[in-house]
Amino acid sequence: MGGHLSVIWQPWEFVIIMGMSLGTYVIANPWKTVVDTGRATVQALTVAVPKERHYLDLLGLLHSLMREVRNKGRNEVEAHIDDPTSSEIFTAFPTVLANEPLLHFICDYFRLIIMGSARPHEIEALMDEEIETIIRSKMKPYGSLMMVAEGLPALGIVAAVLGVIKAMGALDQSPKLLGGFIGAALVGTFAGIFLSYGLVAPLAHKIKLVREQRARMYVIVKQSLLAFMNGALPQIAIEHGRKMIGPGERPSIDVVESETISGGPAKAAPAEPSAKVGARA
């Protein structure tokens, strides 16, 4: 393209644009969303999505709990649900135990099942509402960053206008100096568009993809429990959940069967370093 790339380096243009975008972001969002956006950004950059180990642990835990519900009394099952951190069933699946929101989700609905008064369609409606609420909450960083991405081109124009105003004050100067001022002003427009479509919007979409994959764990629980409540055997019920996993990530039915029959998925292979996925689902 030629020219001097140094003309693009206009620190104050970037300071104006980034400062205004940060200010509008903080003003427009509650502090909880601001903090969650930082967490979501780290998850997106590290691709902290559930791996096969996480899916196997989840399916294995559901299978073990369903088997307990079928074969043992209510009090015995309730003891596991009331104190999962001390339960030998839950501690056998550390990636699920580390995922506190998912853990509460599982325990809450198993508690409803062993109470025996709720019907499957009532549980399904309740699960749908809760999962929708969870997804809506987890998508707030995506929505807030997209708002910034949409506003960045306009903020770039604001910075460019300020640069033009500065250039107008130098009309009596040499054409070389005046051209430098105008070029610096136009960098604001370039920076706003570049930061919007080249950085913030792609990051927001990456956050959306990661959060959607993490939320899939709740859908697996939902489908498995509904199948179980409708009379399916535990092994068949978790197959309903397995089908909710994407084709590229879904463990084979043979792997799931071998690990659930062995009764200890967590012993079959250590959790991957990305087990921190579960820390805040």
| Domain assignment present for 271 | no
Q: 107: pLDDT confidence band, cut at 50, 70 and 90?
A: very high
| Residue 140 reports pLDDT greater than 90 | yes
Say what the pLDDT of residue 258 is.
87
Flag the least confident range among 126-135, 174-183, 216-225.
174-183
Mean pLDDT, residues 70-82: 84
| Domain assignment present for 190 | yes
| Domain assignment present for 248 | yes
| Domain assignment present for 278 | no
Mean pLDDT, residues 122-145: 95
pTM of the full structure: 0.83
Q: 265: pLDDT confidence band, cut at 50, 70 and 90?
A: very low
Quote the distance between the C-alpha of residue 54 and its chain's center: 15
Q: Structural domain tally of the chain?
A: 1
Say what the pLDDT of residue 167 is.
80
Say what the pLDDT of residue 3 is.
61
| Domain assignment present for 236 | yes
| Domain assignment present for 274 | no
Query: What is the extent of the structural domain holding 73?
Result: 8-265
| Domain assignment present for 29 | yes
| Domain assignment present for 272 | no
